[in-house]
Amino acid sequence: TVAPFLSKSKVQISVAFTTGQFKMTTTNSSYTNGELASRKDSARRLAANMAVDENLQNCQTIGIGSGRTMVFVVERIAELLKQKSWSVKCVPTSYQAKQLIREHGMPLAELEYCTAPLDWAVDGADEVDANLALIKGGGGCLLQEKIVDTAANSLVIVCDEAKISRQFGERWRAGVPIEVVPMAWALVKRQIETRFGGRAVLRESAGKMGPVVTDNGNFLIDWQFDAQQKWEQVDRELHMMPGLVETGLFIGKASAVYVGKFDGGVEKLLPPDGDAAGK
């Protein structure tokens, strides 16, 4: 079922599993999993290009997020820098982001040596709700992302339309990522489940035995909530739990969200009432 607030979209989405193969059905056509991945990449690239074109200026310091979408963002930044003979400095949010910046020959900057706010930061999201609140951290870089995003004058989000929902949990089912000190993960898990319900799961690594370890040497818990919450209040309470380092709830951070559509368009979403996101 398509959420009511998405009814104006030209491409309405429904999901089904048919003969063991994922298919996505829209009002225009059906896609196999491979075709859907290609459509998503095309949509993200279009959104990335528009976001960079509208925000990039000469001599800026930019926070660079993590994840697949950032490949398209960094490619566009590098392309424009070459075309215009501009120069910028890039602050990475992860080892992956650092490598991506280096591969494209752009100067790196470390946040601790930046004496002024970053001009803007750009990142992806796992889910964006109707108020432009975000769930981030599916890739495990939420702590660095939140630090860099908070250090910037504005946060620009780039995603495809499958990430847009009316409320959290409609599209992103893996839960809210939460970074914890290793010795405290079981305590934090119990406190979350007792206080807020749902299920908090230690994230296991697909590449090795044992839990995922972040760039900061911490563990990740994915909180699969079973009811809607007052998310700003929940985020404050979560931060009071000893051993909890950071959450994947980014409330009131996004200044603009560039949404790539599967029909080839891009929609720019702004916070409600046009207010700039609060820092």
Q: What is the 3-state secondary structure (H, E, C) of 121-187?
A: EEECCCEECCCCCEECCCCCCHHHHHHHHHCECCEEEEEEHHHECCCCCCCCCCCEEEEECHHHHHH
In total, the chain counts a number of residues equal to 279
Q: Tokens 């796992």 belong to which residue?
A: 126
- Counting Cα atoms < 13 Å in the Cβ hemisphere of 176 gives 30
Q: Token pair for residue 168?
A: 């959290």
Q: Tokens 């029909």 belong to which residue?
A: 263
Q: Is 145 a catalytic residue?
A: yes
Question: Among residues 127, 145, 161, 179, which one is catalytic?
Answer: 145
DSSP tag of 85 = T
Active site residues: 145
